[in-house]
Amino acid sequence: MNTYIIGNRKNNKKIIDLGDDIKIGSKEFSIISGPCAVESEEQIELAAYTLSNMGVKILRGGAFKPRTSPYTFQGLGLEGLKLLKKAGKRHNMKIVSEIMDPRDIDCSYDYVDIFQIGSRNMQNYALLKEVGKFDKPVLLKRGMASTIEEWLKAAEYIASEGNDNIILCERGIRTFEKYTRNTLDLIAVPILKELTKLPIIVDPSHGTGRKELIRHATRAAVAIGADGVMIEVHPNPCEALSDGDQSLNFEEIKSVLSDIRAIKDCINSFNSY
């Protein structure tokens, strides 16, 4: 499908090396976790402290939030990125945060280890081309109404500018099903493994929109061969300024992490991924 750079390279799987022995797409299953949005210093510090103690090495947190309504919390912007970086540094965690505008790139560059491009911007070609000019890894979420082919072509836009350090993230698509926020398309994982050298992670938080389903979706993501997951966690989900319904508390993420390890051990024994 004309994805020359990110196309399948048998035996040449792309590994995204974030330094400090943290690699996405390697044998180690990657866990990215943190709140939907950075809300305050206390909140992000507590999240980073607790998650790092549970072995999570990559911290997420939105500073520029793509909210459906312009009247809801839009994120703390640059101040949020500074708090995120400070918390990450204190707890030896790498940072991922969303950028929504080519003008966000320069000011975010020093604060993040991975630029996230969200579902709503998967086909923002100006943004894709601009991040493609930088050397920093990009986490490209699937557009909520995009086919796998459109998603891969979006990744190719980034790569065509020189940056093929791309992580794909399945986060669910819009279907007629209303019970969940999105329909998590897990079969995209093995399909993408055939079609591209890029690592693929799964976001069960946006993929389901319901905290009680995250455990199940995560178990399935590990079993189907994803390279990692990204899960939203909040110290007090009932008070979250965004995505509280799908955010796990610390006790819940702890239990999900232990599921991940158990299933990963089992998968490793198959030795076929």
- The smaller minimum CB distance to ligand PEP, of residues 88 and 118, is found at 118
- Helices assigned H by DSSP within 112-236: 125-131, 148-160, 188-195, 204-208, 211-223
What six digits make up the tokens of 66? 């793509």
For tokens 């072995």, what's the residue?
55
Q: Are 157 and 129 in contact (CB under 8 A)?
A: yes
Given the rule CB under 6 A, which residues bind ligand PEP?
Answer: 36, 62, 66, 118-120, 141, 171, 206
Nearer of residues 169 and 198 to ligand PEP, judged by Cβ: 169
Residue nearest to ligand PEP (CB): 118
- For 206, the 3-state DSSP assignment is helix
Partner whose footprint covers residue 14, from ligand PEP, Mn ion, none (CB < 5 to 8 Å by kind): none
Among 38, 243, 253, 257, binds Mn ion (CB under 5 A): 243
Nearer to ligand PEP, 66 or 162 (CB): 66
Pick the stretch among 132-140, 192-200, 211-219, 238-246 that binds Mn ion (CB under 5 A): 238-246
CB of 110 to Mn ion, least distance (A): 24
Shortest distance in whole angstroms from residue 60 CB to Mn ion: 9
Measured from the CB atom, the residue of 227 and 243 that comes closer to Mn ion is 243
Return d(Cα 249, Cα 266) in angstroms, integer. Answer: 26
Q: In the complex with ligand PEP, which residue's Cβ is closer, 5 or 170?
A: 170
Q: Which stretch binds Mn ion (CB under 5 A): 76-84, 189-197, 237-245, 250-258?
A: 237-245
| Exposure on the CB side of residue 247, measured as CA atoms within 13 A | 23
> Using N-to-C axis directions, what is the helix angle for 148-160 and 188-195, rounded to 10°?
40
The Cα-based distances of 204 to 32, 110, 153, 169, 226 in angstroms read: 11, 28, 23, 10, 12
Q: Which helix (H) or strand (E) holds 90?
A: helix 78-90
Counting Cβ atoms within 10 Å, is residue 184 exposed (0-12), middle (13-18) or buried (19+)? buried
Decide whether 119 or 196 has the Cβ nearer to ligand PEP.
119
In the bound complex, what is the minimum distance in angstroms from residue 265's beta carbon to ligand PEP?
28
Q: Rg (Cα) of the chain, in Å, rounded?
A: 17
Residue 196 DSSP label:
B
3-state helix, strand, coil in the chain (%, to 5): 40, 15, 45
Q: How far is CA 271 from the centre of its chain?
A: 25
How far apart are CB 242 and Mn ion at their closest, in Å?
A: 6
Q: Which is nearer to ligand PEP, 105 or 263 (CB)?
A: 105
Contact between 36 and Mn ion per CB under 5 A: yes
Q: Which does 94 bind (CB under 5 to 8 A by kind): ligand PEP, Mn ion, none?
A: none
Tell me which of ligand PEP, Mn ion, none is bound by residue 171, counting a contact when its beta carbon lies within the kind-specific cut-off of 5 to 8 angstroms: ligand PEP
Query: Which option in ligand PEP, Mn ion, none does residue 82 bind, with CB closer than 5 to 8 A by kind?
Result: none
Residue 118: name its binding partner from ligand PEP, Mn ion, none (Cβ under 5 to 8 Å by kind). ligand PEP
Positions touching Mn ion (CB under 5 A) are 36, 243
